Structure 1
Amino acid sequence: MARPVTLFTGQWADLPIDHMVKLTSQFGYDGIELACWGDHFEVDKAMSDDSYCTQKRALLEANGLQCLAISAHLVGQAVCDVIDERHKQILPDYVWGDGDPAGVNARAIEELKQTARAAQRFGVDVVNGFTGSSIWHLLYSFPPVSEKMVEDGFKLFAERFNPILDVFGECGVKFALEVHPTEIAFDIYTAQRALEALGNREEFGFNFDPSHLIWQGIDPVEFIRAFPDRIYHVHIKDAIQTLNGKSGILSSHLNFGDPRRGWDFRSPGRGGVNFEEIIRALNVANYQGPLSIEWEDSGMNREFGAAEACSFTKRMDFSPSDRAFDAAFDE
């Protein structure tokens, strides 16, 4: 059976949810992955208004959509990050508060706990998100970075996330980190180290997104093979390297969409990701969850792109065989 194809609303939070669900249905999607910002899924309202989740479900069902995950990337970023003025623009006012860094970290931790409780109320068992990182700025080891500094970063991550994951466990919800630059885990080795820092507890796994791996030179299929039992959710998102002898992989402080960048995101099927091999690897891993399109392409109209991406994803998905191709010779 084909996996449900859903649309992540993180890049559409400028649209009111009533309009967003209608568009998602018109594009041909089976479901929607609601971002916990804008008015798409509001954690505070889900916890304070007993009718909120019921009304949200009714809205989705009226448009023929299911929801299998919600996403808390923005508040998750503030859990482990060194807080600065950038975070004010991505956080709810009640999490930002007075902007005191320690207070922002603490409020973000409590908000992520509440997100697990809200997910339970809403009837989903996966929350996708970020963790932030206190050591991302140490990536290039100069001035020289000691192993203790890196280890302290993973210890801080475990110290802040274990209490969050305790609540996730109580609620029967899993947290799926989108492995991504600026997070505690941004590639295969750091993902393994993050799991180890948490004692490999089952509440913590990954939202697999190949677009953040391919431009780093990492084969996304190898990530699936490394963590077959920890792929809790999948984002379908593409990217491409555009290195031309002038551009660099660190992107030169040029924003997305600038043609001078060394890499950029592309609409699914229009970049460098080999989705054929990803589907085969997901089949081997027995992943049966949604394929959720996170649509980002600065060079394309988003409504055109989202509709095309839905058709592309449904066309390229397939179930594994239930028999060997030469099994007829055994009959």
Structure 2
Amino acid sequence: MKLGVFTVLFQQMPFEAMLDHVKAHGLDAVEIGTGNYPGDAHCNPDVLLEDADARRKWKNAIEDRGLMVSALSCHGNPLHPNKEIAKGFHETYVKTVKLAQLLEIPVINVFSGCPGDHEDAKYPNWPISAWPHDYTEVLEWQWREKVIPYWREWGTFAARHGVKLAFEMHGGFSVHTPATLLRLREAVGEVVGANFDPSHMYWQGIDPIQAIRVLGKENAIHHFHAKDTIIDPTNVNTHGLLDAQSFRNVQERSWIFRTVGYGHDLKHWADIVSALRLVGYDYVLSIEHEDALMSVEEGVRKGVANLKQVILNDPVTEAWWA
């Protein structure tokens, strides 16, 4: 396994200064945004798609520092019921797939998106209740008419370009649990897998270690985000886990994101890493820092230090004692 970072944290830095900074943290890999929610501070697809020399310089700058790109990330909502908004997200996705192929990057990270509740809707609708039956009808309409048709077409597009799609299972989107990820994978194919982020499992009441086992049986983990969450026992009994308060309202929220090791201890994170190895995941753990109680620098520094204690670097050997 290798240790990396989602470089949106350092978007204020010039590209090569950012790479030097990542290297100074002792990391092996970078995950780089190409637009949509992550922005494109360090990778502009419009420039790189048109200029082979620019692509070569971009790639060399990374490789000359002994780094690799774990994924290009273009998280967005291509299913947004506002067609103009959806178009922007979709176009960035298409460019990212094409660019990943040219740069020989095997994975792009995405959200599934979330449609509205009918053809003329203005806003996404995320149904999470089986009753009243209106919600069930909306949910089935979304998957039948929007989610599966879109990703069948554009998942095939990614597969033709030799790129795997790593869906971050995130609240507010149609794919937000292992079950919904596997539902999409069954409909679309093995190009679909997870960008597995434990932080989004915790607040949904899902044990990430068991979720890794569930997805691992299907070889459905394509990328991994290293991020933690802590649940406040008092606040969760006031607001529930489906807490829509601002992330800035740290003292009142039911849960907040934390740096690895500050939501769950390192034994737990060692178990996560072991579960990943058990199901055959031997790729990058990409640190995503969204800890409201730490600066970017402290959060990355402590996350790196904690993960280096539990990551498994060497390949598995035969059981010489057996």
Q: Quickly name the TM-score band, shorter chain normalised.
A: 0.7 to 0.9
1:59 aligns to 2:61 (yes or no): yes
Q: Partner of 1:207 in structure 2?
A: 195
* Residues 120 and 173 in structure 1, CA contact (< 8 A), matched pair in contact too: yes
* TM-score, normalised relative to structure 2: 0.86
2:122 aligned partner: none
Contact 2:129 2:136 survives alignment (8 Å): no
Deviations 1:254-292 (A, max 9, x none): 324511110000001111372122111111111111111
Q: Are 2:279 and 1:262 aligned?
A: no
Aligned counterpart for 2:41 among listed residues 22, 39, 42: 39
Alignment of 1:1-331 (within 5 A): 3-36=1-34, 37-73=39-75, 77-82=76-81, 101-134=82-115, 136-140=125-129, 144-155=133-144, 156-198=146-188, 201-228=189-216, 229-244=219-234, 245-256=237-248, 258-272=250-264, 274-318=268-312, 322-324=317-319, 327=322
- In the alignment, the residues of structure 2 paired with residue 275 and residue 266 of structure 1 have an alpha-carbon distance, to the nearest angstrom, of 13
Q: Give the letter aligned to residue 123 of structure 1.
A: E
Structure 2 counterpart SS, 1:217: coil
Pair 166,246 (structure 1): closer, same or farther in 2 beyond 3 Å: closer
Length-normalised TM-score, structure 1: 0.84
Contact 1:184 1:194 in 2 (8 A): no
1:22 shift after superposition: 1.8
SS in 2 for 1:103: helix
> 2: CA distance between counterparts of 1:253 and 1:21?
35
Bigger mean CA deviation after superposition, 46-55 or 128-137:
128-137
Structure 2: 5+ residue stretches without partners:
117-124
Rounded Cα–Cα distance in structure 1 between residues aligned with 2:201 and 2:126: 19
Cα distance in 2 for partners of 1:193, 1:235 equals 21
SS at structure 2 position matched to 1:182:
coil
Mapped to 2, the partners of 1:150 and 1:11 lie a distance apart of: 34
Q: For residue 12 of structure 1, what is the amino acid of its counterpart?
A: F
Letter in 1 for 2:90: I
Give the number of aligned pairs. Answer: 302
Distance change in 2, residues 1:270/1:163 (3 Å): same
Deviation at 1:252, TM superposition (A): 4.8
Amino acid at match of 1:294: E
Cα distance in 1, alignment partners of residues 31 and 135 from structure 2? 40
Aligned-pair CA distance for 1:161 = 1.6
Task: Confirm or deny: 8 A CA contact 2:181 2:193 kept in the other structure.
Answer: no
Aligned to 1:96: none
Q: Distance in 2 between matches of 1:280 and 1:295?
A: 22
What value does the CA root-mean-square deviation take over the aligned residues?
Answer: 2.1
**Equivalence for 1:94:** none
**Which range moves more in the overlay, 245-254 or 184-193?**
245-254
Residue 81 (structure 1) shift: 2.5
| Contact preservation (8 Å) 2:29, 2:67 | yes
CA contact (8 A) 2:184 2:192 kept: no
Q: Which amino acid aligns with 1:214?
A: Y
- In 2: Cα distance, 1:254 partner to 1:310 partner: 27
Distance 2:80 2:244 in 1: 22
Query: Structure 1's 129 and 256: CA in aligned 2 closer, same or farther, altered over 3 A?
Result: farther
Structure 1 residue 186: Cα displacement: 0.8
Deviation at 1:17, TM superposition (A): 2.0
Report the Cα distance in structure 1 between the residues aligned to 2:320 and 2:207, rounded to whole angstroms.
28
Does the C-alpha gap of structure 1 residues 320 and 39 become closer, same or farther in structure 2, counting only changes over 3 Å? closer
Equivalent position amino acid for 2:258 in 1:
R
Identity of aligned residues (%): 27
Following superposition, the deviation at residue 306 of structure 1 comes to 0.6
Moved more, 115-124 or 19-28: 19-28
The 1:139/1:146 distance shift into structure 2, 3 A limit, reads closer
Contact kept? 2:169, 2:177, Cα under 8 Å: yes
Verify the 8 A CA contact 1:239 1:271 in the aligned structure 2: yes
